[in-house]
Amino acid sequence: MRLPVLIAALLMPVVAWFSQQGAFGPDNGTISNRYPTLLVAAGYAFAIWGPIFLGDLIFAAWQLRARYRDADSLRRLRPAAAAGFTLTALWMPIFSQQWFWLALAVIWLALACLARCAVLLSRDSHPLPGQIAWAKLPISLHAGWLSLAAFLNTAQVIVAYRLLPTDDMLLWSLVLLAAMALLLLWLNAHMRGNVGYAIAALWGLAGVYVEQSGSALHGAKIAAWGAVAIAALLLAQTLWLRLHPRHRVFSGHLSPGE
C-alpha cells in the first residue's frame, strides 16, 4: 500500500489546481457564496489546504522508504490514509458539479478515514524515527480541518436544499456547532491532546469567527461567539491533556504509567 498512498497524496494538489481553474465547474468559493451559512469560515482560512497537501506529500514520501515497508504502525494506517486522500481529492470535482449529497457523504468518509489514522498515530507508544513530525502532524492537521469542513458542508447542504429554515438559521446552526464541539473534544481526547489536530481546528474556528462577526445574516454574531467558545474548550482540553498526561485517554482507559 505504500505506492497508493503516494499516488493519492499527489492526486489532491493536482485536482485542487484543476478545480481552481474551473475545470470541473464553479470553484468552491463561488458555490459557497451561493449558499451562505452561519458556519462558513472566512476565505483566508481555506489557505490551510496548502500546508495540508504539502504535509501529506511529505508523509507519503517518508512512508515510502524501504525500511518502513513492514512497520506495523504504518501497515495499519496506509489503507485508511490512501482512502482519505483519495476521497479528499474526489470531493472537489463532486462539489463543483453540485452533487451535494454525494459530496457530503464523501467528506464524512474522508474524515472517518483520516481521523482513524490520527488516532492510531496518537496512540502509538513506540513511534518510528520521524513519525511524529512526518506522519502524525500532517495527518492530524488534515483530520482537524476536515472535522470542521464536514460540518460546514452539512450546513451548505441544508441551505442548498432548504431542509431547514434559511431566513433564520440560528437554531439549527447552534445544533451543528454543538455537534461539532462534541466531535472535536471526543476525537481530541482519544488522541490524548493532539496538538496538530487542535491547531487545524482552532484555525478553522477562528475563520468562522472572523466571517460571522462581519456577516449581516441573522444570528451571525451569536454563531461567531459560539465558534470562540468551542475554540476555548478545545484549547483548554488540549492543554490539560498535555500537562496532565495521566488523564489522557488510551484505548478507553487512563494510560498507565504516564
pLDDT at 28: 83
Backbone angles phi, psi at 127, to 5 degrees: -65, 150
d(CA 101, CA 32): 15
- Residue 193 backbone class (left: φ over 0; alpha: ψ -120 to 50; beta: rest): left
Range name among 33-37, 86-90, 99-103, 250-254 with the lowest pLDDT average: 250-254
Residues in a beta bridge with 253: 250
Half-sphere exposure of 12 (CA within 13 A, CB side): 25
In tens, the pLDDT along 198-249 reads 999 999 999 999 999 999 999 999 999 999 999 999 999 999 999 987 655 4
Among 59, 227, 215, residue whose Cα is nearest residue 148: 227
Q: Is the pLDDT of residue 127 over 60?
A: yes
Q: Is the pLDDT of residue 258 over 50?
A: no
C-alpha cell at 56: 501529506
d(CA 219, CA 164): 15
Domain borders along the chain are: 2-254
Instruction: Tell me the percentage of the chain whose pLDDT exceeds 90.
Output: 85
**How many Cβ atoms sit within 10 Å of the Cβ of residue 21?**
9
d(CA 31, CA 23): 14
Could you tell me the pTM of the whole model? 0.92
d(CA 114, CA 86): 11
d(CA 32, CA 229): 24
In tens, the pLDDT along 79-92 reads 999 999 999 999 99
Q: Is the pLDDT of residue 147 over 80?
A: yes
d(CA 169, CA 58): 40
Question: How does DSSP assign 140-169, residue by residue?
Answer: HHHHHHHHHHHHHHHHHHHHHTT-S-SSS-
CA dihedral angle for residue 125, residue 131, residue 137, residue 138, rounded to 10 degrees = -140
C-alpha cell at 188: 481530541
Segment 14-29 mean pLDDT:
91
The kind and range of the H/E element at 246 are none
- Mean pLDDT of all residues belonging to the chain: 93
In tens, the pLDDT along 104-120 reads 999 999 999 999 999 99
The kind and range of the H/E element at 43 are none
